[in-house]
Structure 1
């Protein structure tokens, strides 16, 4: 039966019923490659970095110990820029990849959001087909393959550079992974940051991170790193106390992914501002 006759009869095409790979990305690549983000024609003839909104700074760090549990905190600011303009003050850049992992995006916002949705679907599809979750290394490798598929658009200026972290159920610990535009995957230790403000955020993380942080202290360190990045990088949005816009912050532990509520973040920001004001008065 052809695809057109299957559609007219209301039946799924044969391709959807044959057993095959547990990878949804591989399935699309074989049967509908034009639907993959990296294969879509853009019609652009030159660099596109100033034509589309860009997401900026993501930070992540590990926390905890064997006695109190280990995990990962990931946080992203809310600003998207387009050239010298602020395209959005409320974009979200940190998402749950599945129950025990999180992904943060920096780069071309529209492409990045689509890649995140594809990655979430990839993990959900694998779990439905295989009846079990991928290992954390397996998830990191699947994300690398998706990023590699976006290389043609990255060469046109529409690059996506994610930060991935999660709780490794096999090792009972939180782990972090960074990527380059070619899909290169690199495991990071303790803390990391990506995006335009990452050089300033990393300096803050180096100063504030320490072994054995509890979850609340790790959240405060992540928010302060974004605060420091926003102080020096115009593309990174700091906490907006007037509009009540806070960073997106999530923790991932053995209990799963949890987004930190805005009320808790407001208290963290107020404490950071109070501490900075006190330091300024002493100076």
Structure 2
């Protein structure tokens, strides 16, 4: 499956500037992103949030328009909670991914200018990549999105292996985004946003913890 091939939506998303990464191993999923948000050639925010918790077991990264992304994140959180109340059971990663895809597909003629990486652990670690019109690509190992994708992907191609421990996966995610921040003028920010999803649920690393990891690399 080829996502966003020759689509004007892909060009628009990439112009906004971002690097997001998703990595899956047998035990966990790690989501990571830079923190730079731009308005044209102006760096409007250097602490932008691009990784979001949707449920206690599911998170996502965004690339594209912040307004579209934040609107959808609020809606998805409310729908996931409603599902849990009505069914007396938390929504699964696959079910929420399908729900998101249906929303994006339904708006394909007036698409949200966003691209998602979605990770969750509802039984097993799962990772998906999704484009602006709802195409779903299950990911076995790692994926990237945004204007710094090529630089991040090179680091992942070289260093990833499926048996990596969680701490090593976190470091690899940081290295991938770090490479993009170095070479992609549209990616940057003060630090990195890192989210770990495993059998214990979603955990976003504190700024202090991220800085400590970076200092030790």
Same fold (TM over 0.5): yes
The answer for the alignment partner of 1:86 in structure 2 is 43
Aligned counterpart in structure 2 of residue 165 of structure 1, from 119, 124, 127 = 119
The answer for the alignment partner of 1:231 in structure 2 is 182
Normalized against structure 1, the TM-score is what? 0.68
Within the alignment, does 1:120 sit opposite 2:120 as a pair? Answer: no
Q: CA deviation at 1:146?
A: 2.3
Map Cα deviations across residues 252-276 of structure 1 (whole Å, 9 max, x no partner): 011100111222211222234xxxx
How many residues are matched? 205
In structure 1, stretches of 5+ residues that fail to align are 1-48, 241-245, 273-283
SS in 2 for 1:258: strand
Larger radius of gyration: 1
Spell out structure 1 runs of 4+ moving beyond 4 A.
Answer: none
The answer for the alignment partner of 2:87 in structure 1 is 130
SS in 2 for 1:266: helix
In structure 2, stretches of 5+ residues that fail to align are 1-11
Q: CA deviation at 1:110?
A: 0.9
**TM-align CA RMSD:** 1.8
The answer for the alignment partner of 1:35 in structure 2 is none
Map Cα deviations across residues 99-123 of structure 1 (whole Å, 9 max, x no partner): 1111111001111111111111111
The answer for the alignment partner of 2:21 in structure 1 is 59
The answer for the alignment partner of 2:154 in structure 1 is 203
Q: CA deviation at 1:136?
A: 1.9
SS in 2 for 1:98: coil
CA distance in structure 2 between the aligned counterparts of 1:104 and 1:229, rounded to whole angstroms = 16
Q: CA deviation at 1:55?
A: 5.8
CA distance in structure 1 between the aligned counterparts of 2:179 and 2:166, rounded to whole angstroms = 20
